């Protein structure tokens, strides 16, 4: 097995793959209502995605997360997931997981567990069906709840991801936490990041988690713990619920110094940082030959350019997004 180390000495062991930029929801902080998606002809086939992921596993990636867009709306995605499951069996990979909006989970939960998936992240920003429809523009909360039930029945561990949104769910966060912990699910709160043009003003949505934490501390006893999942969240134990709460704070606390990941899009573009425009095309070297020599070289070259960190800014003077692509392209 190889290993990938970037110019700042960080070992790259985590690959996130956006298997599609399409989605059955249109969350208002993530997408514009009228989104233009990548042309289908530019997409990598599932076989090509497998080959790319496998090249990364051979170069030292230990954790693979499929995301999107909505990974479970990509046609035949289970074929890819089953194929990648072989790396768990050989021990080359520690974890194969996904981030999903939950809408298709009822259908796929058993099969995911059968492929070796043990934990998943499900994004959910409210427990109110009407508000859920508003934030996702047309999502059905009952379907997501059925998906959560199916996933727990299949034995999958679930972490709920909630984007903290000013004026939308800030009053609901403690209820969401009690609900998640009551069902033995971890909860992670995320700050909105300035990625891609959306229809709303991000300054109106942005809620610093430092404020949220202070608010929660009026009701709950939060104790910092060293728990890590390989991602950027910092965790606390919540005494009153007995559960774990994570904070992903790209805006108020920069976590780049421990970054161990890179991100691949469904067209084979590798982003070395979520918050920067620089990228490397891996589709051309992938398609140029059947062997992986060119691909390996392109990956090494890309890792040697991994930047130190992002420069996200959200304020009234900065109305443009920090990066022009949407989160659904690079995968959240
Ligand atoms: N569709 C799947 C889902 O919603 O879980 C996977 C892709 S989605 C882009 C991944 C995560 O990114 C979700 O938890 C979503 O809430 C989050 N997200 C999307 N746009 C964001 C933004 N601008 N800032 C912060 N988080 C964002
Ligand atoms: Fe779709 Fe996930 Fe973006 Fe919502 S956050 S629009 S579910 S990709």
Q: Please give the angle made by the CA atoms of 123, 129 and 132, to the nearest 5 degrees.
A: 40
Ligand 1 centroid, distance to 294 Cα (angstroms): 32
pLDDT-based confidence at 276, cuts 50/70/90?
confident
For the four alpha carbons of 147, 152, 154 and 155, in that order, the dihedral sign comes to positive
Q: Is 68 in the pocket of ligand 2 (CB under 6 A)?
A: yes
The beta-strand segments (E) located in 173-318 are 186-190, 222-225, 234-238, 243-248, 261-264, 269-271, 279-281
Among the bound ligands, name the one nearest to the CA of residue 321: 1
Q: Cβ distance 83 to 111 under 8 Å?
A: no
For the cut 70, the answer to whether the pLDDT of residue 323 exceeds it is no
**Quick one: which atom of ligand 1 is closest to the CA of 328?**
9
CA–CA dist 216, 176 (Å, integer):
12
Helices (DSSP H) in the chain: which residue ranges?
46-58, 77-84, 86-89, 105-114, 129-136, 141-153, 173-182, 202-205, 209-217, 283-288, 293-303, 327-330
In three-state secondary structure terms, 319 is coil
Q: Cβ distance 168 to 126 under 8 Å?
A: yes
Among the bound ligands, name the one nearest to the CA of residue 197: 1
Ligand 2 centroid, distance to 150 Cα (angstroms): 20
Nearest residue by C-alpha to atom 5 in ligand 1: 100
Nearest residue by C-alpha to atom 3 in ligand 2: 30
Ligand 1 centroid, distance to 70 Cα (angstroms): 9
**Quick one: which atom of ligand 1 is closest to the CA of 195?**
23
CA–CA dist 283, 299 (Å, integer):
11
* DSSP designation for 38: P
pTM: 0.93
For the stretch 78-134, pLDDT in tens is 999 999 999 999 999 999 999 999 999 999 999 999 999 999 999 999 999 999 999
Domains and CATH numbers, the chain: 14-330 (3.20.20.70)
What is the percentage of the chain residues whose pLDDT exceeds 70?
92
């Amino acid at each position: 097995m190889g290993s990938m180390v970037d110019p700042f000495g960080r070992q790259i062991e985590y690959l996130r793959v956006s298997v599609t930029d399409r989605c059955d929801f249109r969350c208002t902080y993530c997408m514009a209502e009228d989104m233009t998606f990548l042309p289908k002809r530019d997409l990598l086939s599932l076989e090509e995605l497998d080959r790319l992921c496998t090249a990364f596993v051979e170069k030292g990636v230990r954790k693979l997360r499929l995301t999107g867009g909505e990974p479970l709306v990509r046609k035949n995605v289970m074929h890819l997931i089953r194929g990648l499951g072989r790396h768990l069996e050989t021990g080359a990979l520690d974890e194969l997981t996904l981030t999903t909006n939950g809408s298709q989970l009822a259908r796929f939960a058993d099969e995911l567990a059968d492929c070796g998936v043990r934990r998943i992240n499900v994004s959910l920003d409210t427990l109110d069906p009407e508000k859920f429809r508003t934030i996702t523009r047309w999502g059905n909360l009952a379907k997501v709840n059925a998906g959560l039930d199916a996933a727990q029945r299949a034995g999958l561990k679930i972490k709920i991801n909630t984007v903290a949104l000013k004026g939308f769910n800030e009053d609901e966060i403690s209820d969401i936490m009690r609900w998640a912990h009551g069902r033995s699910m971890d909860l992670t709160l995320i700050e909105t990041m300035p990625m891609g043009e959306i229809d709303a003003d991000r300054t109106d949505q942005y809620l610093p988690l430092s404020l949220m934490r202070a608010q929660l501390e009026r009701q709950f006893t939060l104790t910092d713990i060293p728990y890590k999942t390989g991602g950027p969240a910092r965790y606390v134990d919540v005494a009153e619920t007995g559960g774990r709460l994570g904070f992903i704070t790209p805006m108020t606390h920069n976590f780049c110094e421990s970054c161990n990941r890179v991100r691949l899009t469904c067209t084979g573009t590798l982003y070395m940082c979520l918050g920067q425009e620089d990228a490397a095309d891996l589709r051309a070297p992938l398609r140029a030959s059947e062997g992986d020599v060119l691909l390996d070289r392109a990956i090494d070259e890309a890792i040697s350019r991994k930047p130190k960190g992002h420069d996200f800014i959200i304020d009234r003077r900065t109305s443009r997004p920090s990066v022009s692509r949407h989160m659904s392209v690079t995968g959240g």
